[in-house]
Structure 1
């Protein structure tokens, strides 16, 4: 009896995968190295008056508002939504804080009222999206447009300034060598991380973003999960607005948070999140915010006009979206095959 020849199959080679977050870390390092080429002593850090000073510290400080917006935006995008109103909510929160400060209210009342304003804005978006089933883009666009008008009504169309050292400390003060906004951002990020990773909320958010119908069949209250993400986004935007108002000791309803919603979305996308919803990573969204601010700093230090920022960000968004496109990836793989 003849034995059939044995066929030896070649074992498939597993392609090495990069550790999670490695592309973002490498991108941040590259941007910082490019910045160091256009600015002398870019990495130099010194201590003065009990606080660290230097370009890297400035990047951390200036990235705080975008990082705060990115924290809330990460959760919203993970559900398959979008929040275009965070910049306008910043303006409303800053106007609220400045107006109440001028009126002579206590610091605790000002902070609570400002955060409450952001919470109400987030709940408004949540009601439109989760309960009334309005498309997130359209629903949040409503507050994006009307929000600055609301802020101008609060400030009566003027730039409100105040002289409160206690409130200004939140925007320009220092604590343990670092700027206060950096600590506030870390505190908010830690709180949201604990809320989403040490409770079931994070799993519910990802489940809703991956498949809303399946999540409902599994017993997840989809509308409540979606509304909670918009509420958190509103509070994060209010904290960012408070920091900006405290930094400049005033409220400018026209310019506060202007176009920062785009930076927040870009930070989340750079962090690896899909705009279609699903899994999210808060830490990588923060890294994305640092990359954006590093690019802004590099463009300013190199002497190019600030308007170039928008062009560079648009190119980055296009590249990231192409890398997330299954059809584009399939086209690349098809060309590589012999």
Structure 2
């Protein structure tokens, strides 16, 4: 019973419940939904579950970066646009270095995309930490500016490129799992180790809980805030690389469009409070998987485009209600009443 109570009070547990319920609904419609087979064309494993893991990779990246921003009582509305910038930079770089070693061209494209993302993150950090603008305003400005930068990079056109190793980032597999998902999980593990094995994670949380007390304790908020926004932008650019590598095309208007909303939802579902303070990397990762499963479910069930936002809103509201302390206490009280009735009987 103690384990059940602990799980009920854990926000990310309800994310797992939501994933299980969505998969159950899909399986009821098609009993073969969870089946995994061999693609006759590529010879790789194929199935809906693998598709969910693949599309979850960019969401995991932007949710991971958003986690630390929100932990400082901030918000980053520019991650979707920075995804487009990263994808645009990669595609244009691959076109520019076409003819060189495929692996060399891939690494150059990745480096350019991440560097541009880091520069945009520095600007966000400076506007918030040094200039003193509200994170909502500064990142909203960057959201608009970055989308414009993506258009400038590509000349306003959707850009495609050819590079076999780069394409394998999303279309390849490692031990039967999508390469992009494996890379995303590896990045999550590395970032988790950095945050929990060094003082950085603790300083981020302290700034979110009480900035004034953090200063008195000798913590300098400005470098931490700049670091957080740079990390968010670099991870967003990485998400953009995962997205464009799937089709080897960047859509300057569509790539990363409204992805910042998915990132915020994933973080909140995972248990990180918008009020700042403690964060949950595991929770944000599970939240991202839930969002990916929800997006896939919407398409699988054939929900119309007009009704899609309402359908997603209903699912997310129900999940947030399950995370509510009042609702959890109500569930526990029902459990106690049933236990007493069984004893009496």
> Would you call these one fold, judging by a TM-score over 0.5?
yes
Distance in 1, Cα, partners of 2:49 & 2:191 = 25
Distance in 2, Cα, partners of 1:217 & 1:325 = 34
Deviation (angstroms), 1:82:
0.5
Distance in 2, Cα, partners of 1:15 & 1:180 = 34
Q: Say whether residues 1:71 and 2:25 are aligned partners.
A: no
Distance in 1, Cα, partners of 2:271 & 2:306 = 26
> What is residue 97 of structure 2 aligned with on the other side?
104
Deviation (angstroms), 1:265:
0.5
Q: Which whole-Å deviations, capped at 9, do the CAs of 1:240-286 have from their partners, x for residues lacking one?
A: 11111111112111110001110010000110111111111111111
Q: Say whether residues 1:17 and 2:5 are aligned partners.
A: yes
Deviation (angstroms), 1:23:
2.1
Q: Say whether residues 1:30 and 2:21 are aligned partners.
A: yes
Distance in 2, Cα, partners of 1:15 & 1:99 = 52
Distance 1:319 1:34, change over 3 A: closer
> What is residue 303 of structure 2 aligned with on the other side?
304
Distance in 2, Cα, partners of 1:176 & 1:318 = 36
Q: Say whether residues 1:168 and 2:159 are aligned partners.
A: no
Distance 1:29 1:319, change over 3 A: closer
Q: In structure 2, which of residues 65, 75, 81 is the aligned counterpart of residue 82 of structure 1?
A: 75
> What is residue 9 of structure 1 aligned with on the other side?
none
Q: Which whole-Å deviations, capped at 9, do the CAs of 1:124-145 have from their partners, x for residues lacking one?
A: 1111111111111111000111
Deviation (angstroms), 1:39:
2.7
Residues matched between the structures, number: 320
RMSD of aligned Cα (Å): 2.5
Deviation (angstroms), 1:172:
1.5
Residues 14 and 319 in structure 2, CA contact (< 8 A), matched pair in contact too: no
> What is residue 36 of structure 2 aligned with on the other side?
45
Residues 117 and 233 in structure 2, CA contact (< 8 A), matched pair in contact too: yes
> What is residue 6 of structure 1 aligned with on the other side?
none
Deviation (angstroms), 1:290:
1.1
Distance 1:112 1:271, change over 3 A: same
> What is residue 4 of structure 1 aligned with on the other side?
none
Deviation (angstroms), 1:38:
2.3
Distance in 2, Cα, partners of 1:213 & 1:166 = 48
Residues 269 and 320 in structure 1, CA contact (< 8 A), matched pair in contact too: no
Residues 82 and 237 in structure 2, CA contact (< 8 A), matched pair in contact too: yes
156-165 or 315-324: which moved more? 315-324
Determine which structure has the larger helix proportion and give its number.
2
> What is residue 253 of structure 1 aligned with on the other side?
252
What SS is found at the alignment partner of 2:6?
coil
Deviation (angstroms), 1:325:
8.1
Residues 38 and 298 in structure 1, CA contact (< 8 A), matched pair in contact too: no
Distance in 2, Cα, partners of 1:311 & 1:282 = 28
32-41 or 177-186: which moved more? 32-41
Q: Which whole-Å deviations, capped at 9, do the CAs of 1:299-326 have from their partners, x for residues lacking one?
A: 2111111443322333455556677889
Distance in 1, Cα, partners of 2:211 & 2:312 = 31
Distance in 2, Cα, partners of 1:133 & 1:320 = 35
Computing the radius of gyration from Cα coordinates, the structure with the larger value is: 1
Distance 1:226 1:317, change over 3 A: farther
Note the residue ranges of structure 1 that are not aligned, 5 or more in a row.
1-13
Q: Which whole-Å deviations, capped at 9, do the CAs of 1:186-214 have from their partners, x for residues lacking one?
A: 11111110111111111111111111111
